[in-house]
Amino acid sequence: MAALSRQQIKTLYDQAVAMMRAGQIAPAAQAFRQLLTVLPDHPEIHANLSEIAHKLGQQQTRADHLARALAARPDDPRLNEAATEAFTATGDYPAALAAHDRLIAQDRGNLKRQADKAVTLQNIGDFDAANALFRKLIKKHPKTGALYRMFMTTARIDADDPVMTGMDRALRDPKLPTSDRMHIHFARARALEQQKRTGEVFADLHKANALQLELYPKDSAEKEAQNAALHAFQDGADLTPIGPEQPVRSLFVTGMPRSGTTLVEQILASHSDVTAGGEMPYASRLTVSLFGRKSGFIPMDEAADQQIFDFAKGYVQAIRMQTGATSGAVTDKAIQAHRIYGLLHRALRGVRFIVVHRDPRDIALSIYKNHFRLGTHRYANDLAEIAAEIKSFRANIAMWKTRLPAGVLYEVRYEDLVADPDPQIRALIDAAGLPWEDRCLDFHTAKSTVKTLSLQQVRQPIYTGSAQAWKRYEADLAPFIDAWGDTPWD
């Protein structure tokens, strides 16, 4: 190829950037690769190719281009922020942590950057290093409540631990902001439970949940209206799959928060043909964007086939971009997926739904004990509302069992899984449409990141410590038990 002049290089680069911004990914990538033949180490070309690789779900390619860009610009904050995510996704944890360190070095007063590194350490399973860093940050920022809560995700402390006394000291400050106070009460409740001070735990939990409810009031009526609209959207529609074969197959792992979905996903993801996607928002977003109307949703049986095809294409592109999967199956732990099982079955050929059940009392206790991202799961701060939410979930699953073909929806009980894992795991792998692999029994040894409140438990062979934990708090759970009424527990 003839050498390009400086002006030709600038023109081609500008064209490539314009094509990328317009969504013309393939020609943009071709133009950038052409530029690499004359400028093989140009950081911006590699940065743009890494962004394109991310859009295409090519995680290793993304990481490779970021490494080349960082070689030329090691202190570029934009490149390092992308690198922390990209290198973690590909399992290059030393490179991800090095990117965190470069970001921290540029602004040592930036608390978020240091906390982000600690969270990454938690996610990759290096709890000792994460806890040490959180202790250091808490010492410097003793009234930042979120630090205590994040620290207590993986730490265990005694009653005389400096972190415990730090929480008590911060709570005595009448000027402590509501958000910080809320986070500390959640953290303190976890510490009290570790110390087996069972009778004191709910005093902090009630305060924490009341404060979160103050920040984000309940949205029960809005949720009921949304659920009714989605039911009407799919009611009576033909659910026969019409979507084309896709390069990856979807496995939806669905359950109430804290029901054991992370454990089930980790077991599935230990299979060589499965990639863990975690909680992904794409199915719900595409449902609203493609079928939503001001008055609700266009009935699915009135939607054009092309809309179904567009849904499938958009969803698969999104999960490939997030996970980097190019074949096999991808798990999706989207919390609200059960509301659109009909659409998912029609659009995603070969989809399977794995539904995880658990004793509602244990679910309620675990939900009430844990902080969820502000604005999400607003029912979680009221025990009676939690009962209503679990009942709604169960009703949806019961309805779909009557509408979906046999073998598409598989139910597993958390208690059965932890009590007798071998046959339960074998049945789970079979229900997911996968050939058996012995490695699935050793899922806890997989070297992967875990972004969930259960990140410590799923790195153990099978965690049984939370089974029937509700019995220790039966009196405190009275509002939930009363709201549950005569409905069977299983």
Question: pLDDT digits over 224-274, tens only?
Answer: 888 999 999 999 999 999 988 889 999 999 999 999 999 999 999 999 999
Helix, strand, coil abundance in the chain, percent, nearest 5: 60, 5, 30
pTM, to two decimals: 0.86
pLDDT at position 468, please? 83
- For residues 165 and 149, what is the distance between their CA atoms, to the nearest angstrom? 14
Residue among 309, 183, 321 nearest 245 (CA): 309
CA torsion 39-40-43-44 (nearest 10°) is 50
Residue among 449, 412, 416 nearest 429 (CA): 412
Q: What are phi and psi of 251, to 5 degrees?
A: -120, 105
Query: What architecture (CATH level 2) is domain 109-215?
Result: Alpha Horseshoe (1.25)
| Sheet arrangement for strand 329-332 | 274-276, 329-332, 249-254, 352-357, 409-413
Under-70 pLDDT residues of the chain: 1-2, 446-467
CATH topology assigned to domain 1-76? 1.25.40
Radius of gyration of the chain (CA): 24
- For residues 282 and 470, what is the distance between their CA atoms, to the nearest angstrom? 34
- For residues 190 and 201, what is the distance between their CA atoms, to the nearest angstrom? 8
pLDDT at position 295, please? 80
* Domain range summary for the chain, segments of one domain joined by +: 1-76, 109-215, 220-484
pLDDT at position 143, please? 97
pLDDT at position 459, please? 46
| Long-range pairs of 441-449 with CB within 8 A, sequence gap ≥ 24 | 442/270, 443/266, 443/267, 443/269, 443/270, 444/266, 446/266, 446/269, 446/270, 447/91, 448/91, 448/266, 448/269, 448/276, 449/88, 449/89, 449/123, 449/124
Partnered with residue 250 across adjacent β-strands are 330
- For residues 261 and 357, what is the distance between their CA atoms, to the nearest angstrom? 9
CATH, range 220-484: 3.40.50.300
Q: Do domains 1-76 and 220-484 have the same CATH topology?
A: no
